[in-house]
Amino acid sequence: QTLLVTSVHCSASSSSQGPTANPVSTTADATAGPIPTTTSVPATTAGAKALNSTDVRIPHAQSGRSATTLELSNGLRVLVVSDPFAAVSGYAMAVQAGSFDNPEDVLGLAHFCEHMLFLGTKTHPKADSYRKFIEESGGGTNAYTARDRTVFYAGIDDARLPEAVGRFAEFFVEPTFSREYVEREAHAVDSEHRKNQPDPGWQLFRTLDLLADPNHPASRFATGTLDTLVTAPKNNGTDVRTRLVQWYRQHYCAPNMVFAVVSKRSVSELEALAASVFRGVPERPEYCRPRTRPEEREVSDSKTAAVSESPAYPPWRQGLVARVQRSGQPQLTLQFPMGSLASQYRSLPTAYAEAVLGYRGVRGLAADLKNQGLASDVGVQVDTSTAGTQVLVSLDLSDDGLADWRLTVEEACAGIAAAAGPAPKKPVLQALAHRAELRFDLLERPSQPDQEASDLAARLTMFASTDAFSGDVAMDDQDYDLVAEVLGRLDCARGVNVIVMDPGFQDFNVTDEFYPIKYRLTWLKDEIDVAQLSSNVEGPGADFGSLLPAVATAASTESSGAFPQLIAKQSVVANSPAVELWWKGQSRSESVNWPPAPTVDLRLYIHTASRRPTPDEVLLSELISDLIADLLSEELADFALADYGASVDVNALGISMQFTGYASSMGSLIESVVEVLGHLAEQGNLLPRFRRVVAAKRRNLAAVERRMPVELGAEALMAAVVSTGVHRSELAAASKDVTLTKLQNYLETVLKRRTRVRALAVGDVNKDQARQWSQRVLAILQGGSLPSDKAAHTQVLNIHQDSLLLRYPNPVQQSGDSAVVVKVSALVPAPRQQLALLVVGRILGDKVFTELRTKRQLGYVAGAAVADAKMGPWAMLIYVQGSNTSAGEMDRAIRDLIADASGQIWSMPSSAVEVWKAGVVSELVDQPSNAAEVADRLWSEVMPGAVCFDRRQQLLVAAASLTLADIAESMKMISDAVLGSSYTVWVEAATRGTSVSDSEQTVETGAGGSWTNKLERRLQWHQDHCGPCVVGTLHAAGREQCCDQGSAKSPFGSETLARTGDMGSRGIEVAEHPRRLGEVHVDSPVELSAPLKVADRDAVAAKHKWDWYPFESGCGEAVWDGKGIFDPAHPSAALHGKVTLVLVAVAVAMLWI
């Protein structure tokens, strides 16, 4: 489901900090002047000078855009991108200071500074001022701290761009660094770190940091904790705020900053805006040392010396083995450190190494290690910073691979050396260069302008200004000698570090202070002999180059026009599936805003009959998908190198397929996939692969440490209330007796079922090709056709007026976090109601984040989201995760906040209503930015069978007449459901959990009593102070009006609420609104232990007479008739809607977090 609400959270990369800078004066900076925040823009770029005379190089697929760079008089660099079709603007600032710059006495200060900059400036001192302005303007904001840089970014409605950028500029001139928030925000940083502690990725990078030279900043802890930011500095007599101000002045200066903006405004207007706003950012030459810019970096003329030694991992810090006790998936990582290749980016010096090591064909490293039974997967990653460049080869180990990890290292080292070869293969390098050229030419607009601005700002700290788009995409220089030198570094005998992550390792002698890892270091030469190793691995040939088109231009001359056409509709016919095929072709002769690419996106969904699957069926479906993916990774390895993709996902309700790539070889790709599917009937050849896939599935089901508690809670909730939901614990139990025969029999059953197929072809494809390719895929089906009303869909449990509470012990032993997820569902058929609910989602998202995260510090992860459904109920999700309090306290805080919000809604001024409404509208008018998003939006309508391409237009029409009463009604619906009829899961940390008093209260009164604690107190206050009076109103002034008996001071906040009837009825009305809006139910919930088995869920549902939400037309009050309100000038203006499977409602919400 799509989440149409934004939130703020700051994150840090898995990196470390740098040397201590000398203390400086904390007196006011005389160069810090006021920042204009008006919406007027000067007509000239006074205070700016041209950085160079060459415009930024723009990809062919983004023609129509313009981009230039300039440098302000204070040294701040600016990149402006003018895009006439950008409905939303994005902007970002990259500061060349990161965790490598942390002082040793306050570890994590760079990340802490990132957090504190959001909490008020001199002109706008309120802690939530900037974030609230952005969200009310239809945008979102975020930031991250990496090793060498910190990046702040935001997206916003273009009409408010000048004011937003003006407020943003204050971060870099006069932040308040309010002492009130220092310790409070340190708690937030600490909560973020605790969230990261169980994550395997963070643990791996922490281990790599521990292997670095202890005198290099890469070796130090990066992100900060309460102890490093508050406790330890206090004990050492350091005032953290003073230290923060010093550090900020030393590193946040104009010459070390790059600002990027993407907007529909003209280049000259954007340049003028940047110049007027950022020329006040101080240079601080007395404090701040300018960093070396990409244009100034020297590139060595000596190719043999082009790859130097790594500054963070000198020779004496190579050849190490770290055996680490870490729970979860066993893993082996080989690290090859070398000097930084940042200045040689134009030759893509590691592209060849990534291609040959990551090749997944039968001659590749991954296939060799998997076929030997040593690993279930192999991945390659390249990372470059001032600490150097490192190539990481990571293996997910099998039981055998872990048991004899030394043999695994030997085979991996031999395979890497064989794949790299004695020298690069020139035909392969030339094919990679052609692929890079196509990738750059076809580089489309990113979906989110804020993310694009963030990327562009960061890229200008690494690449020359003209290469902002092409820097790490185009291979402008084919440097054979440099590639050979990089390959020469991939030699275990020359220099490698080995990390073995082993859950059962006990012979450790060091325990890390910051992460739950225990380890022992030894020398690789004492473990194995890597000098005399050989392998049969060959790596890829140049064959994949033949799959690439010669030029980045569409071949088709046939266009569907502005919106898709239904080109095949076959109803119920014996022995063949019912088919609906939609076609959205774009030809080279079509007038569009960007040139059509020679790419195709073909999608099919094969619906089977409606049913609720068993745990065995869900497991078998997932195993079939995993087995197919494993087969395809080898058989389609050359296609993957040429940027084609294919996926086949078998689920309990049908089969989903997708094919992407160039039109020239799309037919060959489809033939290869159909052939692979035929191999699933081969018993002997498939058995070893099947065993490997099952073993990997079991390990993944047990690897709960890869998920945050809030995600685990959502998973448990999904298993309890979604028709296809089965918890991982039940799948793990089912996996114990699974066999290949059982799997093959189940697949045969699936293929023989009656089916209904919905398909979509988008891109450089004509009608005949779309029909032929679809028919070739559907030849695998053996059953008859299925009527449309019998097709299977995911359903959500309707608990009617009851409430459901699941209590789930946090299964991640290393985590001290608790989490609460509250979900309410409702059928919202009318566009007017849907729009009101989206507005409410934004309002509640703001309140939850501000009150529960920023002010009360209940958790680092906090927010609210609306998930819309094409067919079925919409959902509101409210969530909190943290380590500072129990799940019970989080729950009460959520429900108190929702009750207050419902009362406060009527006091909202009309101007605020318009602002919140405008925020939703700005998202609705946003057009697809690239071909993938075009296909996504179309598919979200076609796949469920709820074709309604003008869905967004209906919401926009509804926005014109939306009133406060509509919003209040939706808020009341949410409030009533949260307080009386909701799905809730508590994930309770073993180290904290619910207190005894909490538990006793739950047992005695039911969780419903505790949920409505504040509402009960408010109603009781009315009764005590108003006596027999049946109506009382709580005014904004905070005084109760008791009929005609005068008023009394109220202990509750500024809200408007009226009570009608006696205490037993729980009837609530808002006095200013004459209609009855619903009733609050405070009955005790149905409380169950999670995870819940499918059989137990069905038994509970039968006992309480719960059923499943019906499916209704996704078109609201209208049915798509092929005529919408479209802008024919836009290639996809008709494509409204988002991907909205109820099946992933909660799961996607957690990913969004």
What pLDDT, on a 0 to 100 scale, did the predictor assign at position 17?
A: 35
Confidence of residue 1117 (pLDDT cuts 50, 70, 90): very low
Length reported for the chain: 1153
82 close to 267: Cβ distance less than 8 angstroms: yes
| Weakest mean pLDDT among 274-278, 345-349, 1007-1011 | 1007-1011
What pLDDT, on a 0 to 100 scale, did the predictor assign at position 614?
A: 92
Q: Which of 1075, 1074, 1097, 1071 is nearest to 1086 (CA)?
A: 1097
812 close to 200: Cβ distance less than 8 angstroms: no
Helix (H, G, I), strand (E, B) or coil at 711: helix
Q: What is the mean pLDDT of residues 850-863?
A: 88
463 close to 474: Cβ distance less than 8 angstroms: no
Higher pLDDT, 594 or 814: 814
What pLDDT, on a 0 to 100 scale, did the predictor assign at position 155?
A: 94
Whether residue 1149 has pLDDT greater than 50: no
Q: What are phi and psi of 333, to 5 degrees?
A: -125, 130
% of the chain with per-residue pLDDT over 90: 49
Angle, CA 569 vertex, CA 747 and CA 748 arms, to 5°: 10
Distances (CA, A) of 311 to 388, 785, 806: 6, 65, 51
Confidence of residue 871 (pLDDT cuts 50, 70, 90): low
| Most confident among 50-54, 64-68, 532-536, 925-929 (mean pLDDT) | 64-68
Distances (CA, A) of 631 to 620, 646, 690, 1055: 16, 11, 10, 61
Q: List all residues 6 or more positions away from 571 whose beta carbon is below 8 Å from its beta carbon.
A: 578, 785
How far apart, in Å, do the first and last CA atoms of the chain sit?
A: 14
461 close to 454: Cβ distance less than 8 angstroms: no
Amino acid identity, position 1045: Q
Q: Is 241 exposed, middle or buried (0-12, 13-18, 19+ CB in 10 A)?
A: middle
What pLDDT, on a 0 to 100 scale, did the predictor assign at position 559?
A: 77
CA 992 to chain centre: 28
Here the tokens at position 140 are: 């979102």
Helix residue ranges per DSSP H, 643-727: 666-678, 683-702, 709-721
138 close to 919: Cβ distance less than 8 angstroms: yes
Here the tokens at position 600 are: 């195709």
| Weakest mean pLDDT among 293-302, 341-350, 689-698 | 293-302
Helix (H, G, I), strand (E, B) or coil at 656: strand
Q: Under the phi-then-psi rule, with left for phi > 0, alpha for psi from -120 to 50, and beta for the rest, what region is 27?
A: beta
The total of other beta-carbon atoms located within 10 Å of residue 1107's CB is 12
- H or E segment at 758? strand 756-763
Distance CA 852, CA 128 (A): 13
Distance CA 788, CA 684 (A): 39
% of the chain with per-residue pLDDT over 70: 81
- Residue 330, preceding peptide bond in cis (omega within 30° of 0): no
| Most confident among 235-249, 764-778, 837-851 (mean pLDDT) | 235-249
For residue range 1070-1108, list pLDDT tens digits in order: 233 222 223 333 457 888 888 889 999 899 999 999 998
For residue range 662-683, list pLDDT tens digits in order: 999 999 999 999 999 888 877 6
Q: What are phi and psi of 604, to 5 degrees?
A: -140, 140
Distance CA 133, CA 787 (A): 50
Angle, CA 967 vertex, CA 961 and CA 969 arms, to 5°: 115
What pLDDT, on a 0 to 100 scale, did the predictor assign at position 554?
A: 75
717 close to 823: Cβ distance less than 8 angstroms: yes
512 close to 518: Cβ distance less than 8 angstroms: yes
Whether residue 625 has pLDDT greater than 80: yes
Q: What are phi and psi of 554, to 5 degrees?
A: -65, 145
What pLDDT, on a 0 to 100 scale, did the predictor assign at position 181?
A: 92
Whether residue 4 has pLDDT greater than 90: no
Q: Under the phi-then-psi rule, with left for phi > 0, alpha for psi from -120 to 50, and beta for the rest, what region is 414?
A: alpha
Higher pLDDT, 884 or 629: 629
Whether residue 955 has pLDDT greater than 50: yes
The mean pLDDT value of the chain amounts to 80
What pLDDT, on a 0 to 100 scale, did the predictor assign at position 1063?
A: 27
What pLDDT, on a 0 to 100 scale, did the predictor assign at position 611?
A: 80
Helix residue ranges per DSSP H, 559-708: 615-635, 637-641, 666-678, 683-702
Distance CA 616, CA 241 (A): 57
Whether residue 1 has pLDDT greater than 50: no
Whether residue 40 has pLDDT greater than 80: no
1116 close to 829: Cβ distance less than 8 angstroms: yes
What pLDDT, on a 0 to 100 scale, did the predictor assign at position 1146?
A: 33
Confidence of residue 6 (pLDDT cuts 50, 70, 90): very low
| Weakest mean pLDDT among 82-96, 344-358, 780-794 | 780-794
Amino acid identity, position 252: Y
Q: Which of 699, 735, 737, 685 is nearest to 402 (CA)?
A: 699
Confidence of residue 448 (pLDDT cuts 50, 70, 90): confident
Q: What are phi and psi of 326, to 5 degrees?
A: -150, 130
Distance CA 1001, CA 987 (A): 18
What pLDDT, on a 0 to 100 scale, did the predictor assign at position 49?
A: 55
What pLDDT, on a 0 to 100 scale, did the predictor assign at position 1114?
A: 52
Higher pLDDT, 19 or 771: 771
Whether residue 1027 has pLDDT greater than 70: no
Strands 983-988 and 804-809: parallel
Whether residue 795 has pLDDT greater than 70: yes
312 close to 513: Cβ distance less than 8 angstroms: no
Distance CA 1016, CA 892 (A): 12
1085 close to 802: Cβ distance less than 8 angstroms: yes
Q: Which of 237, 249, 212 is nearest to 100 (CA)?
A: 212
As a three-state string, the secondary structure of 853-914 is HHHCCCCCEEEEEEEECCCCCEEEEEEEEECCCCHHHHHHHHHHHHHHHHHHHHHCCHHHHH
179 close to 46: Cβ distance less than 8 angstroms: no
Q: What is the mean pLDDT of residues 443-469?
A: 92
Q: Percentages helix, strand, coil for the chain, rounded to the nearest 5?
A: 40, 20, 40
Q: Which of 1048, 943, 258 is nearest to 649 (CA)?
A: 943
Whether residue 623 has pLDDT greater than 60: yes
Higher pLDDT, 568 or 820: 820
Helix (H, G, I), strand (E, B) or coil at 660: strand
What pLDDT, on a 0 to 100 scale, did the predictor assign at position 141?
A: 94
Whether residue 794 has pLDDT greater than 50: yes
Whether residue 34 has pLDDT greater than 90: no
Q: List all residues 6 or more positions away from 324 whose beta carbon is below 8 Å from its beta carbon.
A: 203, 207, 499, 500, 501, 502, 505, 508, 517, 518, 519
Confidence of residue 537 (pLDDT cuts 50, 70, 90): confident
Distance CA 162, CA 133 (A): 13
Q: What is the mean pLDDT of residues 516-533?
A: 90
Q: Among positive and negative, which fits the CA dihedral 674, 571, 948, 2?
A: negative
For residue range 139-191, list pLDDT tens digits in order: 889 999 999 999 999 999 899 999 999 999 999 999 999 999 999 999 999 98
Distance CA 1001, CA 986 (A): 15
What pLDDT, on a 0 to 100 scale, did the predictor assign at position 927?
A: 74
The total of other beta-carbon atoms located within 10 Å of residue 909's CB is 9
Distance CA 639, CA 632 (A): 10
Distance CA 638, CA 672 (A): 11
For residue range 224-242, list pLDDT tens digits in order: 999 999 999 999 999 999 9
Higher pLDDT, 182 or 20: 182
Amino acid identity, position 471: G
317: which DSSP letter? Answer: G
Q: What are phi and psi of 434, to 5 degrees?
A: -65, -40
Distance CA 893, CA 711 (A): 20
Here the tokens at position 625 are: 């998908």
What pLDDT, on a 0 to 100 scale, did the predictor assign at position 573?
A: 53
